[in-house]
Amino acid sequence: MNNLGLIIRREFSTRVRKRSFIILTLLAPVLMAILLFLPAYLATLPGDEKLITILDESVLMDIRDKGTEEIRFRYLNPKDFDFETAKALAEGNGDYAFLHVPLSEGGDPDFVARNIRIFREGDLSIAVENHIERSLEKYLQKEKLKFEGVDPEIVARTKTNVKLRVINTKAGVEAENATLLKMGIGYVCAFAIYLFIFIYGSQVMRGVIEEKTNRIMELMISSIKPFELMMGKIIGIGALALLQFVIWIGLGALIFTLFSAIFIDPSLSAPAGAGTEQFNALQDSTSFEIYRSLQTVNWWQLLGSFIFYFLGGYLLYGALFAAIGSAVDKEADSQQFILPITIPLILSLLVIIRALDNPDGAIATWMSFIPLSSPLVMMARIPFGVPGWELLLSMVILAISFVFCVWIAAKIYRIGVLMYGKKPTFKELYRWTRYKN
Amino acid sequence: MIEAKGIVKKYDKHQALKGLDLSIQKGDVFGLLGPNGAGKTTFIRILNQIIAPDQGHVLFNGEALKSSHIGRIGYLPEERGLYPKMKIGEQLLYLAQLKGLTKKEAHERIQYWLQRFELKDRVNTKVEALSKGLAQKVQFIASVIHEPELLILDEPFTGFDPVNAEHIKSEILRLNQEGATIIFSTHRMESVEELCENIVLINQGEKLLEGSLAEIKSQYRSGWYKLECRKEWQPTDGNWIVESLDSKSNRYHYRIKLESKDIPKILDAVKGLELVNFQEETPSLNEIFIKSTSGHE
């Protein structure tokens, strides 16, 4: 076991010093942050102001309605302008567009609705089109209400907004519903495990192939057991993955705090003066809703399960990748063996999309027991709450399968590492597992 | 030192070793000879506990072979290499520690060996920057750094230039004089003759010949002698057959078949011919090898 420690240390230390590892570890969170925050940042930049000149001959619109920050309304007095002069003026000023609301025939709002026109040189932005349509619909409804003898003021007063408060009664406690947030967490966790299995699993495989092509393998296994060499590599690279993950989480949190302080919510960087006022404002806002739904997630269970499935999944697939590496001489030959272990991973990703919508569905439940898919599928289900026995069973199955996989992989490995120059078939791999020492 | 009894090893239908018996004495330089595919590497892997025999057993100094013996065996495999991205010093330290040396011991021996091979200033050089010959030297150091009692060398001279091969050869002999037992596996017979005292010749998993090199050679002696003289010889009758060979620059060559007890007689018969050279035609190991393997196919 002393040797195992030496091997783990070598596998870890030679890789952790590699420039590619350092760059990827430091750069990935920055790139991710840029991807996430760039659109948000761009949205906060002031856009071009679009001036719409309006000739409202029916006096339908409220001239106090100046539009929005981006879409500004300017009204021309119908007494001073007719259609032609108004249009010429708008065009002469280079305004974004010219809106014409014609005079109604006998006060029929439907006639007006059918005949409102907007003029622009070139295409009209969808945002502008939508905004003007919504505004006009509102004004026309008011006209119709008046026509029907209803006071629009009463209508406005009696308008009520309903926001459903969905209470999750599972697990005995009433908790706020946070489906979207849970979907997000589930997907991110599952995807992270998928990514790590792939990146680091194939590193294990490449490491084994390298030892074979460098012809150091025989010297190594004359000093140590092939099993130790294989496990040392898997654990050493696993430790590297864990380190990278921890750094990513740390850096991610740091960058998130910095970026949100600078770009997203000015209140975070504002001086802490109007404390209660801010809190009250927060209570109604979406941030508070998110904050409340964050409380409904069992973070300790989530973290514990993530580490378990992350390591369990990695060790299981890592052993398989090591066995593949031992069986081939060059990476190109590994494709035929990689495919069968890629399929369950890809399938799991597909199932997760269904599982996030229906976490207790039959497919999701079954696939969270099958060890090749459970690390991903179960992780996607956990934020929604999974019965304790299901979680335990899934973990036990994964642990047993891991031991079994390592046992089989070690059998293939100890024969494979001595085989050069031939491309084995699945049948041969099976035969190797049956060889005595 | 090594006692192997009835070693059988099968791979699927192919039987690599068919009940091999072998005995290697302590302090010996032992030649394990055979053509490619004879089962040499399989036997060596069994000694190194890389694989286990299907039947039979191996004793190491009288004890059944076990994992604690690994640190007492040094192995230079035929397929040898190093981690290209590691520095020489790191690499040797790692391999020495895997063989059970402490860090301190390992450092001392690395210094000693790098000095011997004039590699001391290369301790921080990465293996990938070394020439093939230098890398082979590092590999040799890796196999002897833990001062093994038994050193197994599988085709040790392949890849070495003549100068370095000679260097390695003298190191092997020095280690032997210091008490190490050497097993020297090869299919290149000429390299064995200078080094080995005892040999075994195996073919297709079976032992063909075994014993001291001198004894084996004498078993295969043909009874022919070579004679070189300055004057032409008209062979006189006697208990011998004479073949006249070429004559170059006033040297006359003959091949004579005779019993060893007739040597004084023939020397008497050629007395007046200004004898330059008279020697027995001993079969080379290569010839013995070819003779004995062809007889078994």
Specify whether A401 is located in the same domain as A282.
yes
Let me know if residue B96 belongs to a domain.
yes
pLDDT band at B293 (very low <50, low <70, confident <90, very high): confident
**Predicted pLDDT at A292:** 63
Indicate the pLDDT class of residue B92, thresholds 50, 70 and 90. very high
pLDDT number for residue A415: 84
Task: State how many domains chain B has.
Answer: 2
- Considering the domain boundaries, does residue B131 fall inside one? yes
Residue B297 resides in a domain = no
Give the CATH number of the domain where residue B83 resides.
Answer: 3.40.50.300
Assess if residue A16 is contained within a domain.
no
Looking at residue A272, what is its pLDDT? 44
Lowest mean pLDDT of A263-277, A319-333, A365-379, A385-399, name the range. A263-277
Same domain flag for A283 and A324: yes
Residues B136 and B227 placed together within one structural domain of the fold? no
Interface probe for A, chosen from B79, B80, B150 (most Cβ of A below 10 Å), is B79
Are residues A220 and B82, on separate chains, in Cβ contact within 8 Å?
no
Q: Is A214 on the interface with B (CB under 8 A)?
A: yes
Q: Are residues A152 and A183 in the same domain?
A: no
Task: Identify the domain containing residue B44 by its residue range.
Answer: 2-218
CA distance A147 to A111: 14
β-pairing verdict for B150-154 and B181-186? parallel
Residue A277 pLDDT > 70? no
Query: What is the rounded (10 degree) CA torsion for A372, A374, A377, A379?
Result: -130
Residue A258 zone, left/alpha/beta (φ > 0; ψ -120 to 50; rest): alpha
CA B104 to the chain's CA centroid: 33
State how far the Cα of A286 lies from the Cα of A303, in Å rounded to an integer.
25
pLDDT at A391 over 80: yes
Q: Note whether A348 and A205 are same-domain residues.
A: yes
Q: Is residue B83 part of a domain?
A: yes
Of the three residues A128, A158, A188, the one that is the final residue of a domain is A158
The least confident of A103-112, A225-234, B87-96 is A103-112
B172 with B148: CB under 8 angstroms? Answer: no
Assess whether A135 and A201 both reside in one domain: no
Q: At a CB cut-off of 8 Å and minimum separation 6, what does A362 contact?
A: none
Residues A340, A260: one domain?
A: yes
- Judged by CB atoms within 8 Å, which residues 223-252 of A form the interface with B? 223-225
| Same domain membership, residue B162 and residue B18 | yes
Angle at A201 between CA A196 and CA A203, to 5 degrees: 105
Mean pLDDT computed over every residue of chain B: 87
Query: Same structural domain for residues B200 and B231?
Result: no
- State whether B245 and B184 are in the same domain: no
Beta strands at B150-154 and B73-76: parallel, antiparallel or unpaired:
parallel
Q: How far apart are CA A383 and CA A190, in angstroms?
A: 11
Range scoring the smallest mean pLDDT among A6-20, A158-172, B270-284: A158-172
Taking all residues of chain A, what is their mean pLDDT, rounded to a whole number? 83
Question: So what's the pLDDT on residue A291?
Answer: 62
Q: In the structure, what pLDDT confidence band is assigned to residue B150 with cuts at 50, 70 and 90?
A: very high
Task: Indicate whether B20 and B38 sit together in one domain.
Answer: yes
Q: Are residues A370 and A251 located together in one domain of the fold?
A: yes
Contact assessment for residue B183 and residue B73, using Cβ atoms and an 8 Å cutoff = no
The DSSP annotation for A136-148 comes to HHHHHHHHHHHHT
Q: Could you report the per-residue pLDDT of A133-147, keeping only the tens digit for each? A: 999 998 988 888 888
Instruction: Verify that A296 and A337 share a domain, yes or no.
Output: yes
Segment among A366-380, B41-55, B182-196 with least mean pLDDT:
B182-196
Question: A20 at the B interface (CB within 8 A)?
Answer: no
pLDDT level of residue A175 (50, 70, 90 thresholds): low
Q: Same domain, yes or no, for A278 and A358?
A: yes
Q: Does the pLDDT at position A172 exceed 80?
A: no
Q: Percent of chain A beyond pLDDT 70? A: 86
Say what the pLDDT of residue A52 is.
92
Same domain, B136 and B157: yes
* B226 and B158 in a common domain: no
Q: Is B292 contained in some domain?
A: no
Given A211, A223, A418, which is nearest B95 (Cβ)?
A223
Same-domain pairing of A423 and A319 = yes
DSSP B261: G
Point out the residue among B54, B67, B75 whose CB comes nearest to the CB of A219: B75
pLDDT above 80 (res B296): no
Residue A275 pLDDT > 50: no
pLDDT of A382 > 50? The answer is yes
Tell me whether residues A216 and B50 touch, CB distance under 8 A: no
Task: Domain of residue A154: give its range.
Answer: 50-158
Q: Are residues B11 and B156 in the same domain?
A: yes
pLDDT at A285: 55
Number of domains in chain A: 2
Q: What is the pLDDT of residue B74?
A: 93
Token pair in block for residue B242: 């004479």
Does B139 lie in the same domain as B54?
yes
Residue A255 shares a structural domain with residue A372? yes
| Cβ–Cβ gap B81/A6 under 8 Å | no
Asked if the structure places residue A397 within a domain, the reply is: yes
A328 and A188, same structural domain?
Answer: yes
